[in-house]
Chains A and B, each alone.
Chain A
Amino acid sequence: MTKTRFTLLIGALVVGLLASMTIAVMVGSVDITPRFIWEVLFFKLGILIETDASNAQAVIIWDIRFPRIVLASIVGAALAICGAAIQALVKNSIADPYILGVSSGASVGAASVILLGAFSVLGVYAISLAAFLGAIFAVVTVFFLARVNGRISVIRLLLAGIAVSMVLSAITNFMLMMSKQQGGIQAVMHWMLGSLAGAKWSNLAIPFFSLLLVFILLLMNYRQLNALLLGEETAATLGVNLDRFRIFIILFVSLLTGVVVAVSGSIGFVGLIIPHIVRMMVGSNYKMVLPISSLSGAIFLVWADMAARIVLAPEEMPIGIITAICGSPIFIWMLRRKRYSFGDGE
């Protein structure tokens, strides 16, 4: 992968993302032309002084569709880079951002708010906050279970993640089973499969800045991420402080995943397949994998969210179903390709 090809690819993906977002704004119960979209955008940014779009159209574009699509791209980018980083951390190609228990922890939080009315003083933010706290609780538990003599063992991290996820899923399922409220049960199911319907300009700031922070931090450490892929011994002899670096990744990746899950539920598959697709295109060097994953993840989720809005319109399909249905065939196709080894080495 040469520098020029890399730059071209980044350019193409940025254009692709902007085009996808434009199309996504156009699609919906009210048709909107691309011209209006850009006009309203520039009008709101103060570049244009007037717009031909009617007030209603402006509201739909600016207050309803835009935040949702921006959130989709933030969530997609965040899950993709978290997946890429986690795959380096545990050196395992089936790892995804939820492997440390984030999603099951968040589900317990969300379910207890929806079904039991916990944190109701917080009003609309209760679900997000509870989900975030649940996610962080799960990761902290996994982290301490995986620490032996002050060192983090990768295999223990994976197994502790599975064990903690199982317990927490059991708790969620128990709450669902004991609940008598049909609506509540449906709401929890909907939440667990993910949705971006709750997007508002006011709740985009935290996800956006978390993504920006974690992306920059990871990219600054791309050499260490690369070195981790060579094996822990080799990474250590290349000057990587293994324990510190692992804690660093776990901390920031969990933080970002927690934030994203809190606003959108646990959308599966993106964090698993996007890094693999990206590696097929550009190789394993994290200097390229991180930026390209973030853009690809964003594009993928913008399209997935668009599909979620229109397949069952006026009903909404949970986006997790779309990502799985669209993602799996791509993944299976990759499995059948001989050139990509999924990190098998031989």
Chain B
Amino acid sequence: MLQVKNMSFSVPDKQILNNITFSVEQGKFVGIIGPNGSGKSTMLKIIYRYLKQTSGLVTLYEKDIGHFPQKKLAQELAVVSQETPVLFDFTVKDLVMMGRTPYKKWLAADNPQDFAIVEESMMLANVLHLESRTFSQLSGGEKKRVMLARALAQQANILILDEPTNHLDIEHQYQLMDLVKDLPITIVAALHDLNLAAGYCDILLVMKDGALYMEGTPEQVLTEETLKEVFHMQAGVSKNPFTKKLHLFFYTNY
């Protein structure tokens, strides 16, 4: 459903992304991994049209995303970006209600359907009990979940997450990934934790120096050679004895 064709992006004096091509199938959980500065966030920003590629094409349902009206795109594609700077104070419920913005015409009021969607989204993201708290009183993990609930209220077909587990403690990392994995929609997430990526993603895209280095299932992609080549890490590849998912052990010669 989502396709990226020969996408490149450069700023004066620097090529950030170089000729990237891939496609995402409906319903898949696609993880994007790669070291810092490999272009993960930039690529996501182009996909959700905050930045514009220098050349190449991003298509959604075979249609150039540049041709989607802003609201239509927001109905198709929800984003939890790395920014969470809420200026002033909103209640959790107000914030999640903002997910309904792309469906609202100039004078439209919030209707019972919106309230039902907002409640359902809050329930899914496990923040319903916080609904009348103000955002600034919440912990980091709660804030992330509220932003996720807001994105869910957009009822989009694709959810883009930029390092969703950043700053979360271990329990909330897994809780968030469980929650996202259960969603019946397409997920594209940039992830730092390779074991989380291995445990939850159907497909992994490996980025290196602004190019797509490799693409495949976690088993195909997460090999000792790739890890050495891309992340400059020595690793042993094994299996998590409890989940039977691929698991990586990293080591240095310390």
CB contacts (< 8 Å) of A41 on chain B: these are: none
Given known pairs A233-B45, A238-B99, the reply for A93 and B87 (CB within 8 Å) is yes
Complex Cα gap A239–B71 (Å): 4
A236 to B81 alpha-carbon distance, docked (Å): 11
Min CB–CB distance A273 → chain B (angstroms): 14
B160 smallest CB distance to A (angstroms) = 8
- The reply to whether B89 and A227 form a contact with Cβ atoms under 8 Å apart is no
User: For the complex, is A183 an interface residue (Cβ under 8 Å from B)?
Assistant: no
- Complex Cα distance, B50 from A254, in Å, reads 27
Cβ-defined contact, A236 with B101, below 8 A = no
* Shortest beta-carbon distance from A239 to chain B in Å: 3
- Contact present for B50 and A238 (CB under 8 Å): no
Which residues 64-84 of B have a CB within 8 angstroms of A? 70-75, 77-79, 81, 83-84
Which residues of chain A have C-beta atoms less than 8 A from B104's C-beta?
Answer: 223
Tell whether, in the assembled complex, residue A236 and residue B70 are in contact, meaning their CB atoms are under 8 Å apart. yes
Q: Which chain A residues border B70 with CB–CB below 8 Å?
A: 236, 239-241
Which of B1-9, B31-39, B90-98, B183-191 forms part of the interface with chain A?
B90-98
Asked if A224 and B101 make an inter-chain contact with CB atoms under 8 angstroms apart, the answer reads: yes
Q: Is the CB of A343 within 8 A of B90?
A: no
B101, A238: Cβ atoms under 8 Å?
A: yes
The answer on a CB contact under 8 Å between B101 and A285 is: no
A283 within 8 Å of B (CB atoms): yes
Q: Which of A263-285 contact B (CB under 8 A)?
A: 279, 283-285
Question: Which of A220, A223, A240, A340 has the most chain B CB atoms inside 10 A of its CB?
Answer: A223
Docked pose: A236 CA to B90 CA in angstroms: 19
Give chain B residues whose Cβ lies under 8 Å from the Cβ of A283: 88-91, 94, 134
**Is there a chain B Cβ closer than 8 Å to A346's Cβ?**
yes
Which partner residue on chain B sits nearest A241 by CB separation?
Answer: B70
B48 touches A (CB below 8 Å): yes
Interface: A231 (CB within 8 A): yes
**Total A-B Cβ pairs within 8 A:** 92
A220 to B73, CA, bound (A): 21
Residue of B nearest to A245 (CB): B70
Bound-state CA distance A343–B81 (Å) is 19
Cα A273 to Cα B87 in complex, Å, equals: 16
Interchain nearest-CB distance for A230 vs B (Å): 6
A203 within 8 A of B: no
Within 8 A of B (CB), among A204-240: 220-221, 223-224, 226-227, 229-231, 233-234, 236-240
- CB contacts (< 8 Å) of A230 on chain B: these are 85-86, 95, 98
A284 and B88: CB pair below 8 A?
A: yes
The total of chain A residues at the interface (CB under 8 A) is: 29
* Residue A329 lies at the interface, judged by CB distance under 8 Å to chain B: no
Given A227-B98, A231-B85, A285-B94: A237 touches B79 (CB 8 Å cut-off): yes
Asked if A341 lies at the interface with its beta carbon under 8 angstroms from chain B, I say: yes
Contacting B at CB under 8 A, from A63-108, are: 91, 93
> Does A345 touch B at the CB level, under 8 Å?
yes
Structural contact, B81 and A234, CB atoms closer than 8 A = yes
Per the bound structure, the CA–CA distance linking A218 and B148 in Å amounts to 28
> Which chain B positions have C-beta within 8 A of A240?
70, 101
How many Å lie between the Cα of A220 and that of B50 in the bound state?
Answer: 25
**A86 CB, nearest partner CB in chain B, Å:** 13
Cβ contact within 8 Å between A236 and B49: yes
User: With A240-B70, A241-B70 in contact, do A279 and B88 touch (Cβ < 8 Å)?
Assistant: yes
Q: Identify which of A91, A220, A285 contacts B107 (C-beta below 8 A).
A: A220
Distance to closest chain A CB from B96 (angstroms): 12
- What's the nearest-Cβ distance from chain A to residue B125, in Å? 16
Q: How far is B49's CA from A2's CA once the two chains are assembled, in angstroms?
A: 36
Given contacts A233-B81, A237-B48, A237-B81, contact A223 B101 (CB under 8 A): yes
Does A237 contact B88, Cβ atoms closer than 8 Å? no
The answer to whether A233 touches B49, judged by C-beta atoms less than 8 angstroms apart, is no
Residue B242 interfacial (CB < 8 Å): no
* Residues B162-208 near A (CB distance < 8 A): none
Asked if B102 is at the interface (CB within 8 A of a chain A CB), the reply is: yes
Residue of A nearest to B83 (CB): A231
Q: How far is the CB of A224 from chain B (nearest CB, A)?
A: 7
Q: Which residues of chain B are near A237, meaning CB under 8 Å? A: 48, 50, 74, 77-79, 81
Contact B89 A341 (CB under 8 A): yes
- The interface residues of chain B lying within 8 Å CB-to-CB of A284 are 87-90, 94
Point out the residue from B72, B75, B79, B136 that lies within 8 Å of A234, measured CB to CB: B79
Q: Enumerate chain B residues within 8 angstroms of A223, measured Cβ to Cβ.
A: 98, 101, 104
B88 and A238: CB pair below 8 A? no
Q: Provide the bound-state CA to CA distance between A223 and B71, in Å.
A: 13
Of the A-B pairs whose beta carbons lie under 8 Å apart in the complex, a sample of 7, sorted by A's number, is A93-B88, A221-B106, A231-B84, A238-B74, A238-B102, A283-B94, A284-B90
Q: Which residues of A contact B (CB under 8 A)?
A: 91, 93, 220-221, 223-224, 226-227, 229-231, 233-234, 236-241, 279, 283-285, 340-343, 345-346
Top 9 nearest A-B pairs (CB, nearest first) are A239-B74, A239-B102, A284-B88, A343-B87, A239-B71, A237-B79, A231-B83, A238-B101, A229-B87
Query: Besides A237-B48, A239-B72, A342-B88, 11 other CB < 8 A contacts?
Result: A223-B104, A226-B90, A230-B95, A231-B83, A233-B81, A236-B49, A238-B99, A238-B154, A285-B94, A341-B88, A341-B136
